[in-house]
Amino acid sequence: MALKYDYFLFDFDGTIADTGEGIRKSVAWCLEQLGKPALDTSVLDRFIGPPLHDSFEKYCGMTQEESERAISVYRRRYTDIGLYESRLYPGIAMLLRALHTGGSWVAIASAKPRFMLEKLAAYYGIDKYLDAIVGIGEGRHSSDKRDLILAALPEGAQPARAVMVGDRLYDIEAARSLGLGSVGADYGYSLPGELADAGADAVFDDVPALAAHLLGGDGPRGLFISMEGSDGCGKSTQIALLRDYLERRGFEVVLTREPGGCPISERVREVILSLDSKGMSSECEALLYAASRVEHVRKVIEPALKCGKIVICDRFLDSSIAYQAYGRELGEDFVRQINAPAVRHAAPQLTLLLELDRAESRRRMAQGAPLDRLEIEKEDFFARVQAGYDALAQAEPGRIRRIDASKSIEAVFDEIAREVERLLAGR
Ligand code: TYD
Protein backbone atom coordinates (compact mmCIF):
# COMPACT_ATOMS: atom_id res chain seq x y z
CA MET A 1 0.00 0.00 0.00
CA ALA A 2 1.35 3.44 -0.87
CA LEU A 3 2.20 5.50 2.19
CA LYS A 4 1.51 9.16 2.64
CA TYR A 5 5.25 9.87 2.89
CA ASP A 6 8.46 8.52 1.36
CA TYR A 7 10.89 9.95 3.92
CA PHE A 8 10.49 9.39 7.64
CA LEU A 9 12.69 11.40 9.99
CA PHE A 10 12.75 10.75 13.71
CA ASP A 11 14.04 12.68 16.63
CA PHE A 12 15.88 10.33 19.01
CA ASP A 13 15.50 11.32 22.69
CA GLY A 14 11.87 11.01 23.74
CA THR A 15 10.77 9.72 20.34
CA ILE A 16 12.77 6.57 19.55
CA ALA A 17 14.24 6.01 22.98
CA ASP A 18 13.43 6.96 26.51
CA THR A 19 16.84 8.38 27.33
CA GLY A 20 15.56 10.30 30.35
CA GLU A 21 17.27 8.41 33.12
CA GLY A 22 20.78 8.77 31.70
CA ILE A 23 20.33 12.44 30.86
CA ARG A 24 18.78 13.35 34.23
CA LYS A 25 21.44 11.49 36.20
CA SER A 26 24.28 12.94 34.13
CA VAL A 27 23.00 16.54 34.41
CA ALA A 28 22.58 16.11 38.18
CA TRP A 29 26.09 14.62 38.45
CA CYS A 30 27.55 17.45 36.35
CA LEU A 31 25.94 20.14 38.53
CA GLU A 32 27.28 18.42 41.62
CA GLN A 33 30.80 18.30 40.12
CA LEU A 34 30.57 22.02 39.32
CA GLY A 35 29.25 22.89 42.80
CA LYS A 36 25.99 24.23 41.35
CA PRO A 37 22.59 23.92 43.07
CA ALA A 38 20.66 20.72 42.33
CA LEU A 39 17.54 20.82 40.09
CA ASP A 40 14.13 19.17 40.50
CA THR A 41 13.34 16.15 38.33
CA SER A 42 10.71 18.16 36.46
CA VAL A 43 13.40 20.68 35.46
CA LEU A 44 15.91 17.92 34.66
CA ASP A 45 13.29 16.54 32.24
CA ARG A 46 13.49 19.81 30.28
CA PHE A 47 17.06 18.87 29.30
CA ILE A 48 15.82 15.92 27.28
CA GLY A 49 15.63 16.77 23.59
CA PRO A 50 16.76 20.38 23.09
CA PRO A 51 20.43 21.36 22.66
CA LEU A 52 22.15 21.07 26.06
CA HIS A 53 23.74 24.51 26.06
CA ASP A 54 20.28 26.10 25.71
CA SER A 55 19.11 24.20 28.78
CA PHE A 56 22.18 24.93 30.90
CA GLU A 57 21.78 28.62 30.07
CA LYS A 58 18.00 28.64 30.58
CA TYR A 59 17.66 26.53 33.72
CA CYS A 60 21.00 27.11 35.49
CA GLY A 61 21.61 30.73 34.48
CA MET A 62 24.96 29.85 32.88
CA THR A 63 26.84 32.01 30.41
CA GLN A 64 27.72 30.50 27.05
CA GLU A 65 31.25 29.81 28.29
CA GLU A 66 30.01 28.13 31.47
CA SER A 67 27.58 25.98 29.53
CA GLU A 68 30.39 24.78 27.21
CA ARG A 69 32.34 23.65 30.25
CA ALA A 70 29.24 22.07 31.81
CA ILE A 71 28.69 20.06 28.64
CA SER A 72 32.20 18.67 28.72
CA VAL A 73 31.79 17.64 32.38
CA TYR A 74 28.34 16.14 31.61
CA ARG A 75 29.80 14.06 28.79
CA ARG A 76 32.38 12.49 31.09
CA ARG A 77 29.54 10.54 32.71
CA TYR A 78 27.03 10.42 29.88
CA THR A 79 29.24 8.89 27.20
CA ASP A 80 30.22 5.80 29.18
CA ILE A 81 27.30 5.29 31.52
CA GLY A 82 24.36 7.59 30.84
CA LEU A 83 24.02 6.57 27.20
CA TYR A 84 22.98 3.08 28.24
CA GLU A 85 20.57 4.21 30.96
CA SER A 86 17.92 4.23 28.26
CA ARG A 87 15.46 1.95 26.46
CA LEU A 88 13.67 1.94 23.14
CA TYR A 89 9.97 2.73 23.38
CA PRO A 90 7.99 -0.52 22.98
CA GLY A 91 7.00 -0.97 19.35
CA ILE A 92 9.44 1.52 17.85
CA ALA A 93 11.89 -1.11 16.56
CA MET A 94 9.10 -2.91 14.71
CA LEU A 95 7.88 0.40 13.24
CA LEU A 96 11.37 1.29 11.96
CA ARG A 97 11.71 -2.23 10.54
CA ALA A 98 8.36 -1.99 8.76
CA LEU A 99 9.22 1.39 7.22
CA HIS A 100 12.67 0.23 6.14
CA THR A 101 11.63 -3.12 4.70
CA GLY A 102 8.76 -1.36 2.93
CA GLY A 103 11.34 0.71 1.01
CA SER A 104 10.91 4.06 2.78
CA TRP A 105 13.78 6.38 3.69
CA VAL A 106 14.29 6.29 7.46
CA ALA A 107 16.62 8.66 9.29
CA ILE A 108 17.39 10.17 12.65
CA ALA A 109 17.62 13.96 12.93
CA SER A 110 18.65 14.79 16.47
CA ALA A 111 20.60 17.45 18.32
CA LYS A 112 22.59 14.70 20.08
CA PRO A 113 26.22 14.20 19.04
CA ARG A 114 26.37 11.94 16.02
CA PHE A 115 28.83 9.46 17.54
CA MET A 116 26.42 8.88 20.42
CA LEU A 117 23.51 8.32 18.07
CA GLU A 118 25.59 5.82 16.12
CA LYS A 119 26.61 3.98 19.29
CA LEU A 120 23.01 3.79 20.49
CA ALA A 121 21.63 2.74 17.12
CA ALA A 122 24.17 -0.10 16.99
CA TYR A 123 23.57 -1.03 20.64
CA TYR A 124 19.85 -1.39 20.00
CA GLY A 125 20.31 -2.97 16.57
CA ILE A 126 18.21 -0.35 14.78
CA ASP A 127 21.16 0.83 12.66
CA LYS A 128 20.14 -1.66 9.99
CA TYR A 129 16.89 0.24 9.46
CA LEU A 130 18.46 3.68 9.09
CA ASP A 131 19.48 5.37 5.86
CA ALA A 132 20.99 8.34 7.68
CA ILE A 133 21.95 9.31 11.20
CA VAL A 134 22.28 13.05 11.58
CA GLY A 135 23.46 14.63 14.80
CA ILE A 136 25.92 17.31 15.70
CA GLY A 137 29.71 17.06 15.46
CA GLU A 138 32.10 16.00 12.69
CA GLY A 139 31.95 19.39 11.04
CA ARG A 140 28.30 19.98 11.83
CA HIS A 141 28.02 22.35 14.74
CA SER A 142 24.60 23.82 14.18
CA SER A 143 22.01 22.27 16.43
CA ASP A 144 19.28 24.19 14.61
CA LYS A 145 16.69 21.50 13.96
CA ARG A 146 16.07 22.76 10.45
CA ASP A 147 19.69 22.16 9.46
CA LEU A 148 19.53 18.67 10.96
CA ILE A 149 16.34 17.86 9.08
CA LEU A 150 17.74 19.06 5.77
CA ALA A 151 20.89 16.99 6.28
CA ALA A 152 18.80 13.88 7.03
CA LEU A 153 16.92 14.04 3.72
CA PRO A 154 18.43 12.65 0.52
CA GLU A 155 19.24 15.09 -2.24
CA GLY A 156 16.21 16.06 -4.28
CA ALA A 157 13.67 14.85 -1.70
CA GLN A 158 10.45 16.82 -1.86
CA PRO A 159 9.70 18.23 1.61
CA ALA A 160 5.99 17.49 1.18
CA ARG A 161 6.83 13.77 0.85
CA ALA A 162 8.70 13.83 4.16
CA VAL A 163 7.56 13.78 7.74
CA MET A 164 9.36 14.63 10.96
CA VAL A 165 8.34 12.74 14.10
CA GLY A 166 9.39 14.33 17.37
CA ASP A 167 8.41 14.93 20.96
CA ARG A 168 9.30 18.61 21.31
CA LEU A 169 8.07 21.82 19.74
CA TYR A 170 11.50 22.32 18.11
CA ASP A 171 10.83 19.26 15.97
CA ILE A 172 7.37 20.40 14.98
CA GLU A 173 8.26 24.03 14.32
CA ALA A 174 11.31 23.15 12.22
CA ALA A 175 9.36 20.59 10.17
CA ARG A 176 6.55 23.03 9.52
CA SER A 177 8.83 25.87 8.52
CA LEU A 178 10.46 23.58 5.92
CA GLY A 179 7.16 22.31 4.54
CA LEU A 180 7.46 18.77 5.95
CA GLY A 181 4.66 16.88 7.62
CA SER A 182 4.97 16.99 11.40
CA VAL A 183 3.87 14.33 13.84
CA GLY A 184 4.07 14.66 17.59
CA ALA A 185 5.18 11.85 19.91
CA ASP A 186 3.32 12.77 23.07
CA TYR A 187 4.70 9.74 24.94
CA GLY A 188 8.07 11.51 25.14
CA TYR A 189 9.02 14.63 27.06
CA SER A 190 6.59 17.23 25.75
CA LEU A 191 4.67 19.46 28.13
CA PRO A 192 0.86 19.12 28.04
CA GLY A 193 -0.43 20.69 24.84
CA GLU A 194 3.09 21.58 23.59
CA LEU A 195 2.93 19.61 20.36
CA ALA A 196 -0.62 20.48 19.37
CA ASP A 197 0.05 24.16 20.15
CA ALA A 198 3.15 24.03 17.94
CA GLY A 199 0.83 23.00 15.09
CA ALA A 200 1.66 19.29 14.69
CA ASP A 201 -0.42 17.61 11.98
CA ALA A 202 -1.20 14.82 14.45
CA VAL A 203 -0.16 13.88 17.96
CA PHE A 204 -0.03 10.35 19.42
CA ASP A 205 0.12 9.03 22.95
CA ASP A 206 1.87 5.77 22.17
CA VAL A 207 3.92 4.04 19.50
CA PRO A 208 1.17 1.68 18.24
CA ALA A 209 -1.06 4.69 17.44
CA LEU A 210 1.87 6.49 15.81
CA ALA A 211 2.72 3.36 13.79
CA ALA A 212 -0.87 2.92 12.62
CA HIS A 213 -0.88 6.56 11.45
CA LEU A 214 2.45 6.37 9.61
CA LEU A 215 1.88 2.97 8.01
CA GLY A 216 -1.89 3.15 7.55
CA GLY A 217 -4.07 0.25 8.69
CA ASP A 218 -3.19 -1.60 11.85
CA GLY A 219 0.50 -0.82 12.12
CA PRO A 220 3.27 -3.37 11.67
CA ARG A 221 2.55 -7.05 11.98
CA GLY A 222 4.86 -8.96 14.31
CA LEU A 223 7.19 -11.83 13.52
CA PHE A 224 6.75 -15.51 14.20
CA ILE A 225 9.76 -17.65 15.08
CA SER A 226 9.41 -21.33 15.92
CA MET A 227 12.01 -23.59 17.51
CA GLU A 228 12.22 -27.26 16.71
CA GLY A 229 14.58 -30.00 17.69
CA SER A 230 15.09 -33.34 19.23
CA ASP A 231 14.63 -33.93 22.93
CA GLY A 232 17.47 -32.58 25.05
CA CYS A 233 18.77 -30.26 22.33
CA GLY A 234 18.78 -27.22 24.63
CA LYS A 235 15.74 -25.50 23.12
CA SER A 236 14.52 -23.99 26.40
CA THR A 237 17.88 -22.42 27.21
CA GLN A 238 18.23 -20.95 23.74
CA ILE A 239 14.65 -19.66 23.74
CA ALA A 240 15.27 -17.78 27.00
CA LEU A 241 18.48 -16.29 25.58
CA LEU A 242 16.67 -15.25 22.42
CA ARG A 243 13.93 -13.54 24.38
CA ASP A 244 16.49 -11.46 26.32
CA TYR A 245 18.33 -10.63 23.10
CA LEU A 246 15.18 -9.38 21.37
CA GLU A 247 13.88 -7.48 24.38
CA ARG A 248 17.16 -5.62 24.70
CA ARG A 249 16.62 -4.55 21.10
CA GLY A 250 13.29 -3.04 22.06
CA PHE A 251 11.02 -5.74 20.65
CA GLU A 252 8.02 -7.00 22.56
CA VAL A 253 8.30 -10.76 22.83
CA VAL A 254 5.74 -13.45 23.55
CA LEU A 255 7.22 -16.78 24.55
CA THR A 256 4.96 -19.75 24.15
CA ARG A 257 4.96 -23.50 23.49
CA GLU A 258 3.19 -26.41 21.87
CA PRO A 259 1.34 -28.42 22.76
CA GLY A 260 -0.06 -25.85 25.18
CA GLY A 261 0.42 -22.12 25.38
CA CYS A 262 -3.08 -21.23 26.62
CA PRO A 263 -5.38 -22.81 29.24
CA ILE A 264 -7.41 -25.09 26.96
CA SER A 265 -4.38 -26.21 24.98
CA GLU A 266 -2.44 -26.89 28.17
CA ARG A 267 -5.24 -29.24 29.22
CA VAL A 268 -5.04 -30.99 25.85
CA ARG A 269 -1.27 -31.25 26.40
CA GLU A 270 -1.83 -33.18 29.60
CA VAL A 271 -4.06 -35.65 27.77
CA ILE A 272 -1.57 -36.13 24.94
CA LEU A 273 1.60 -36.53 26.96
CA SER A 274 0.31 -38.40 30.00
CA LEU A 275 1.44 -41.99 30.37
CA ASP A 276 -2.25 -42.69 31.19
CA SER A 277 -2.97 -42.10 27.50
CA LYS A 278 -0.91 -45.11 26.40
CA GLY A 279 -2.55 -46.84 23.47
CA MET A 280 -4.05 -43.62 22.04
CA SER A 281 -4.58 -44.03 18.30
CA SER A 282 -2.20 -42.08 16.06
CA GLU A 283 -5.09 -40.24 14.43
CA CYS A 284 -6.47 -39.13 17.80
CA GLU A 285 -2.99 -37.94 18.79
CA ALA A 286 -2.56 -35.94 15.57
CA LEU A 287 -6.03 -34.39 15.91
CA LEU A 288 -5.36 -33.42 19.53
CA TYR A 289 -2.13 -31.66 18.54
CA ALA A 290 -4.06 -29.89 15.77
CA ALA A 291 -6.89 -28.97 18.16
CA SER A 292 -4.51 -27.55 20.71
CA ARG A 293 -2.74 -25.63 17.93
CA VAL A 294 -5.84 -23.97 16.50
CA GLU A 295 -6.84 -22.73 19.95
CA HIS A 296 -3.31 -21.52 20.66
CA VAL A 297 -3.09 -19.63 17.36
CA ARG A 298 -6.47 -17.94 17.91
CA LYS A 299 -5.92 -17.04 21.56
CA VAL A 300 -2.21 -16.25 21.75
CA ILE A 301 -0.21 -16.23 18.52
CA GLU A 302 -2.48 -14.31 16.18
CA PRO A 303 -3.35 -11.54 18.70
CA ALA A 304 0.35 -11.05 19.49
CA LEU A 305 1.33 -10.83 15.82
CA LYS A 306 -1.47 -8.38 15.22
CA CYS A 307 -0.04 -5.95 17.69
CA GLY A 308 3.50 -6.14 16.35
CA LYS A 309 5.06 -8.53 18.84
CA ILE A 310 7.62 -11.23 18.17
CA VAL A 311 6.27 -14.67 18.98
CA ILE A 312 8.79 -17.36 19.85
CA CYS A 313 7.08 -20.72 19.92
CA ASP A 314 8.68 -23.86 21.32
CA ARG A 315 7.59 -26.29 18.54
CA PHE A 316 4.86 -25.67 15.96
CA LEU A 317 3.44 -27.38 12.87
CA ASP A 318 6.80 -28.88 11.85
CA SER A 319 6.65 -31.05 14.98
CA SER A 320 3.35 -32.51 13.79
CA ILE A 321 4.85 -33.19 10.37
CA ALA A 322 7.94 -34.85 11.86
CA TYR A 323 6.23 -36.78 14.70
CA GLN A 324 2.77 -37.55 13.36
CA ALA A 325 3.19 -37.52 9.56
CA TYR A 326 6.57 -39.29 9.60
CA GLY A 327 6.94 -40.80 13.09
CA ARG A 328 3.38 -42.19 13.21
CA GLU A 329 3.34 -42.62 9.43
CA LEU A 330 0.07 -40.73 8.98
CA GLY A 331 1.37 -38.96 5.89
CA GLU A 332 1.94 -35.27 5.27
CA ASP A 333 -1.33 -34.64 3.45
CA PHE A 334 -3.48 -35.76 6.37
CA VAL A 335 -1.48 -33.80 8.93
CA ARG A 336 -1.41 -30.61 6.84
CA GLN A 337 -5.11 -30.90 6.19
CA ILE A 338 -6.11 -31.16 9.85
CA ASN A 339 -3.82 -28.26 10.69
CA ALA A 340 -5.14 -25.97 7.96
CA PRO A 341 -7.50 -24.04 10.28
CA ALA A 342 -4.61 -23.29 12.65
CA VAL A 343 -1.96 -22.22 10.17
CA ARG A 344 -4.18 -20.27 7.80
CA HIS A 345 -3.38 -17.05 9.62
CA ALA A 346 -0.09 -17.78 11.31
CA ALA A 347 2.95 -19.50 9.89
CA PRO A 348 6.50 -18.98 11.15
CA GLN A 349 8.79 -16.80 9.05
CA LEU A 350 11.78 -18.46 10.65
CA THR A 351 12.15 -21.91 12.16
CA LEU A 352 15.31 -22.77 14.06
CA LEU A 353 15.96 -26.49 13.94
CA LEU A 354 18.37 -27.47 16.71
CA GLU A 355 20.05 -30.66 15.66
CA LEU A 356 21.65 -33.19 17.92
CA ASP A 357 22.55 -36.78 17.13
CA ARG A 358 20.29 -39.38 18.67
CA ALA A 359 22.90 -40.86 21.06
CA GLU A 360 23.64 -37.45 22.58
CA SER A 361 19.92 -36.62 22.73
CA ARG A 362 19.28 -39.85 24.68
CA ARG A 363 22.19 -39.20 26.99
CA ARG A 364 20.88 -35.70 27.81
CA MET A 365 17.30 -36.97 28.25
CA ALA A 366 18.40 -39.62 30.70
CA GLN A 367 19.65 -36.84 32.99
CA GLY A 368 16.43 -34.81 32.77
CA ALA A 369 12.79 -35.07 33.92
CA PRO A 370 10.86 -38.38 33.76
CA LEU A 371 10.00 -39.36 30.19
CA ASP A 372 6.53 -38.64 28.75
CA ARG A 373 4.42 -40.81 26.43
CA LEU A 374 6.22 -39.61 23.28
CA GLU A 375 9.68 -39.86 24.74
CA ILE A 376 9.32 -43.56 25.58
CA GLU A 377 8.82 -44.44 21.91
CA LYS A 378 11.13 -46.93 20.22
CA GLU A 379 14.24 -45.97 18.23
CA ASP A 380 12.71 -46.59 14.80
CA PHE A 381 10.02 -43.99 15.65
CA PHE A 382 12.72 -41.38 16.33
CA ALA A 383 14.56 -42.34 13.15
CA ARG A 384 11.38 -41.56 11.20
CA VAL A 385 10.92 -38.27 13.10
CA GLN A 386 14.48 -37.33 12.10
CA ALA A 387 13.74 -38.25 8.48
CA GLY A 388 10.71 -35.95 8.71
CA TYR A 389 12.79 -33.01 9.89
CA ASP A 390 15.38 -33.71 7.17
CA ALA A 391 12.67 -33.65 4.51
CA LEU A 392 11.19 -30.42 5.86
CA ALA A 393 14.57 -28.70 6.05
CA GLN A 394 15.36 -29.72 2.50
CA ALA A 395 12.01 -28.54 1.20
CA GLU A 396 12.15 -25.13 2.90
CA PRO A 397 15.80 -24.14 3.38
CA GLY A 398 14.95 -20.43 3.52
CA ARG A 399 12.60 -20.74 6.48
CA ILE A 400 14.02 -23.74 8.33
CA ARG A 401 17.58 -23.05 9.47
CA ARG A 402 19.58 -25.97 10.81
CA ILE A 403 21.63 -25.24 13.91
CA ASP A 404 24.29 -27.60 15.27
CA ALA A 405 23.15 -28.02 18.88
CA SER A 406 26.17 -30.06 19.97
CA LYS A 407 28.28 -26.91 20.39
CA SER A 408 28.51 -24.78 23.53
CA ILE A 409 25.49 -22.74 24.63
CA GLU A 410 27.24 -19.53 23.50
CA ALA A 411 28.25 -20.92 20.11
CA VAL A 412 24.73 -22.22 19.45
CA PHE A 413 23.26 -18.87 20.43
CA ASP A 414 25.67 -16.99 18.13
CA GLU A 415 24.31 -18.99 15.22
CA ILE A 416 20.73 -18.37 16.32
CA ALA A 417 21.37 -14.63 16.68
CA ARG A 418 22.81 -14.54 13.15
CA GLU A 419 19.69 -16.15 11.73
CA VAL A 420 17.40 -13.88 13.72
CA GLU A 421 19.34 -10.79 12.60
CA ARG A 422 18.72 -11.82 9.00
CA LEU A 423 15.01 -12.00 9.71
CA LEU A 424 15.01 -8.66 11.53
CA ALA A 425 16.84 -7.03 8.63
CA GLY A 426 14.14 -8.36 6.30
CA ARG A 427 16.62 -10.36 4.21
P1 TYD B 1 7.74 -31.38 25.52
O2 TYD B 1 7.92 -31.83 26.92
O3 TYD B 1 7.30 -29.97 25.29
O4 TYD B 1 9.03 -31.78 24.68
P5 TYD B 1 10.30 -30.93 24.23
O6 TYD B 1 10.88 -30.37 25.47
O7 TYD B 1 11.12 -31.97 23.59
O8 TYD B 1 9.79 -29.91 23.28
O9 TYD B 1 6.73 -32.37 24.83
C10 TYD B 1 6.27 -32.20 23.59
C11 TYD B 1 6.30 -33.55 22.91
O12 TYD B 1 5.27 -33.58 21.95
C13 TYD B 1 7.60 -33.81 22.17
O14 TYD B 1 8.01 -35.13 22.37
C15 TYD B 1 7.24 -33.64 20.72
C16 TYD B 1 5.78 -33.95 20.68
N17 TYD B 1 5.00 -33.21 19.68
C18 TYD B 1 4.39 -33.91 18.64
O19 TYD B 1 4.51 -35.13 18.56
N20 TYD B 1 3.64 -33.23 17.73
C21 TYD B 1 3.44 -31.89 17.81
O22 TYD B 1 2.75 -31.29 16.96
C23 TYD B 1 4.07 -31.18 18.88
C24 TYD B 1 3.89 -29.70 19.01
C25 TYD B 1 4.84 -31.89 19.79
- Indicate the pLDDT class of residue 141, thresholds 50, 70 and 90: low
Pocket test residue of 268, 319, 378 for ligand 1, highest count of atoms within 8 A of CB: 319
Q: What is the mean pLDDT of residues 157-167?
A: 97
**Could you tell me the CA-to-CA distances from 191 to 52, 283, 353, 360 in Å, in that order?**
18, 62, 49, 60
**Lowest-pLDDT range of 43-52, 64-73, 159-168, 244-253:** 43-52
- Indicate the pLDDT class of residue 140, thresholds 50, 70 and 90: low
pLDDT digits (tens, 9 = 90+) for 37-75: 999 999 999 998 788 999 999 999 999 999 999 999 999
**Predicted local confidence at residue 298, as pLDDT:** 97
Pocket test residue of 323, 326, 367 for ligand 1, highest count of atoms within 8 A of CB: 323
The structural domains of the chain, with segments of one domain joined by +, span: 7-16+86-214, 20-84, 223-424
CA distance 126 to 80: 20
Residues with CB under 6 A from ligand 1: 231, 258-259, 273, 289, 314-315, 319-320, 323-324, 372, 374-375
CA distance 48 to 26: 11
In this predicted structure, the answer to whether residue 286 has a pLDDT above a threshold of 80 is yes
**262 vs 49: which has the higher pLDDT:** 262
| One fold for 7-16+86-214 and 20-84 | no
**Lowest-pLDDT range of 110-114, 160-164, 171-175, 230-234:** 230-234
Distance (angstroms) between ligand 1 centre and the Cα of 306 equals 26
Q: Quick one: fold of 20-84?
A: DNA polymerase; domain 1 (1.10.150)
Which residue's CA is the nearest one to ligand 1's atom 23? 319
pLDDT digits (tens, 9 = 90+) for 9-41: 999 999 999 999 999 999 999 999 999 999 999
Q: What is the mean pLDDT of residues 145-169?
A: 96
In this predicted structure, the answer to whether residue 87 has a pLDDT above a threshold of 90 is yes
**Predicted local confidence at residue 427, as pLDDT:** 80
**Predicted local confidence at residue 345, as pLDDT:** 80
Distance (angstroms) between ligand 1 centre and the Cα of 271 equals 13
**Predicted local confidence at residue 1, as pLDDT:** 65
CA distance 388 to 323: 8
Distance (angstroms) between ligand 1 centre and the Cα of 231 equals 8
Which residue's CA is the nearest one to ligand 1's atom 6? 231
Distance (angstroms) between ligand 1 centre and the Cα of 296 equals 15
In this predicted structure, the answer to whether residue 138 has a pLDDT above a threshold of 80 is no
Distance (angstroms) between ligand 1 centre and the Cα of 273 equals 8
CATH class of the region 223-424: alpha beta
**Predicted local confidence at residue 329, as pLDDT:** 98
**Superfamily name with CATH number, domain 7-16+86-214:** HAD superfamily/HAD-like (3.40.50.1000)
**Predicted local confidence at residue 377, as pLDDT:** 83
Distance (angstroms) between ligand 1 centre and the Cα of 258 equals 7
In this predicted structure, the answer to whether residue 125 has a pLDDT above a threshold of 80 is yes
Which residue's CA is the nearest one to ligand 1's atom 5? 231
Which residue's CA is the nearest one to ligand 1's atom 20? 320
Pocket test residue of 282, 297, 312, 315 for ligand 1, highest count of atoms within 8 A of CB: 315
Distance (angstroms) between ligand 1 centre and the Cα of 188 equals 44
Q: How deeply is 201 buried, as exposed, middle or buried, from its count of CB atoms within 10 A (0-12, 13-18, 19+)?
A: middle
pTM for the structure as a whole: 0.90
SS3 for the chain, per residue? Answer: CCCCCCEEEECCECCCEECHHHHHHHHHHHHHHCCCCCCCHHHHHCCCCCCHHHHHHHHHCCCHHHHHHHHHHHHHHHCCCHHHCCEECCCHHHHHHHHHHCCCEEEEEEEEEHHHHHHHHHHHCCHHHCCEEEEEECCECCCCHHHHHHHHCCCCCCHHHEEEEECCHHHHHHHHHHCCEEEEECCCCCCCCHHHHCCCCEEECCHHHHHHHHHCCCCCCCEEEEEEECCCCCHHHHHHHHHHHHHHCCCCEEEEECCCCCHHHHHHHHHHHCHHHCCCCHHHHHHHHHHHHHHHHHHHHHHHHHCCCEEEEECCHHHHHHHHHHHCCCCHHHHHHHHHHHHCCCCCCEEEEEECCHHHHHHHHHCCCCCCCCCCCCHHHHHHHHHHHHHHHHHCCCCEEEEECCCCHHHHHHHHHHHHHHHHCCC
In this predicted structure, the answer to whether residue 359 has a pLDDT above a threshold of 70 is yes
Q: What is the mean pLDDT of the chain?
A: 94
